[in-house]
Amino acid sequence: MRVAARIALTNEQKWELERFARGRKTQARLVLRARIVLLAGDGHTDLEIGERLGVVARTAARWRARFLKEGAKGLERDAPRPGRRPAISPQMVREVIEKTTQQKPSGRTHWSTRAMAAAAGISEASVRRIWRAHGLKPHRVHTSKLSNDPPFAKKLEDIVGLYLNPPEHALVLSLDEKSQIQALDRTQPGLPMKKGRAQTMTHDYKRFGTTTLFAALNTLDGKLMATCMDRHRHQEWLKFLRMIDRQTPKDKQLHLIVDNYATHKHADVLAWAARHPRFHFHFTPTSSSWLNMVERFFRDLTENQLRRGVFTSVEKLQDAIFDYIEQHNAQPKPFIWTAKTKDIHEEVKRGKAALLNCPSA
């Protein structure tokens, strides 16, 4: 008959085990283990301890041996457990990821959970778990285009430098036009939002004309100068520049950030700029309108005022635009540029490398 190893507890060990056994916030399993060792220290056998605490003798023997080997700290540690064998093998996970990222389903542009489940021979829930675990979202697509402008780096550093370190005694203005803004009226009135139901709006509409918004954002304080015109030719652009000339202090140099739209570089515009030396144009690289800070304001205007708006005339559309700008200028909040040129360069390099390695490139 095997005899259990004897445990001789010191006063310090006994005090610590009793603290575990009596602790109100101690885990139940640690309480049980401490009581097992305390009874073993009093000379009880594993069978007696099991009968007294309602466990099998093998459990009492395990924690007696653990205490003799590691002390009280050994009672707080659980042995690693293998866990349940995964229902989907790693090979199947790799297959789903490869199909999702490198193949297309027959007759479709992208995978759905149902199509992938049929192709891989697993459930839709398993496909969703694999996609979620690896950050894959085949149903979504983002628009993106890398600039091929040869002096991209120079233009990038020039414009970001204006945002982060504007020149003294000068204004930095971000300029652009938002063209073809439509005055749309819905064919029926929409229903208001209420509990359990979103606001409704008909999918069809009536057109009442368009307008073009010309805006100049002061990057220092966030205020805007703006006007609306029917068209957006170089003649209208010159009118806008003259308006800026009238509404800004004459002793200030003006650094204008504009995109590469043809009207911005028209010969008449360049001739006018030559006669007004306080105007300095800084052109963004091609396909890089995201560098123009006023685009951020245009997005807010669309989301907050235009997208759900109902306008029965161009005049009402323009009134809504100017009302939004007036409220913005009453409490202006500048947009803060945070991206560093180094990080942008690295991102562009990664993008170009990915395009070169893309099978469809």
**CATH number reported for the structural domain that contains residue 217 in this entry:** 3.30.420.10
- Given this model, what pLDDT does residue 193 score? 87
> Is the whole model's pTM more than 0.75, yes or no?
no
Question: Does 287 map to a domain?
Answer: yes
Phi-psi region of 156 (alpha: psi -120 to 50; beta: other; left: phi over 0): alpha
For the ranges 20-24, 28-32, 78-82, 322-326, which has the lowest average pLDDT? 78-82
- Given this model, what pLDDT does residue 113 score? 92
3-state secondary structure of 358: coil
54 and 129 share a domain?
no
Question: Does 333 map to a domain?
Answer: yes
Question: Does 100 map to a domain?
Answer: yes
* Domain housing 257: 152-191+200-351
Average pLDDT over residues 44-56: 87
Distance (Å, whole) CA 260 – CA 289: 9
Question: Does 345 map to a domain?
Answer: yes
168 and 275 share a domain?
yes
Strand order in the sheet with 224-229: 224-229, 205-218, 170-186, 253-258, 279-283
24 and 163 share a domain?
no
Query: Token digits for 149?
Result: 């402008």
The pLDDT of residue 318 is above 60: yes
Average pLDDT over residues 84-89: 77
Domain count of the fold of the chain = 3
The pLDDT of residue 181 is above 80: yes
Question: Does 274 map to a domain?
Answer: yes
Distance (Å, whole) CA 34 – CA 49: 12
What DSSP string describes 17-35? HHHHHH-TTS-HHHHHHHH
344 and 218 share a domain?
yes
Question: Does 3 map to a domain?
Answer: no
Q: How many percent of the chain have pLDDT more than 70?
A: 97
127 and 166 share a domain?
no
64 and 107 share a domain?
no
Average pLDDT over residues 179-192: 88
Q: How confident is the model at residue 361 (pLDDT cuts 50, 70, 90)?
A: very low
Residue, of 78 and 184, whose pLDDT is higher:
184
* pLDDT tens-digit readout, 23-46: 778 888 888 888 888 888 888 888
Average pLDDT over residues 291-312: 91
Question: Does 4 map to a domain?
Answer: no
Average pLDDT over residues 47-65: 86
The pLDDT of residue 322 is above 90: yes
* pLDDT tens-digit readout, 109-140: 999 999 999 998 999 999 999 999 999 999 88
114 and 217 share a domain?
no
Q: Which residue has the tokens 């993106």?
A: 144
Distance (Å, whole) CA 64 – CA 325: 77
170 and 280 share a domain?
yes
Average pLDDT over residues 233-260: 93
Residue, of 342 and 234, whose pLDDT is higher:
234
The pLDDT of residue 185 is above 70: yes
Please, what is the average pLDDT of the chain?
Answer: 87
170 and 229 share a domain?
yes
Question: Does 312 map to a domain?
Answer: yes
- Given this model, what pLDDT does residue 355 score? 73
Q: How confident is the model at residue 81 (pLDDT cuts 50, 70, 90)?
A: low
183 and 331 share a domain?
yes
Average pLDDT over residues 173-200: 88
Average pLDDT over residues 219-243: 93
- Residue 217's DSSP bridge partners are 174, 224
Q: How confident is the model at residue 20 (pLDDT cuts 50, 70, 90)?
A: confident
124 and 234 share a domain?
no
- Given this model, what pLDDT does residue 316 score? 93
- Given this model, what pLDDT does residue 2 score? 64
- Given this model, what pLDDT does residue 146 score? 80
58 and 126 share a domain?
no
Q: How confident is the model at residue 80 (pLDDT cuts 50, 70, 90)?
A: low
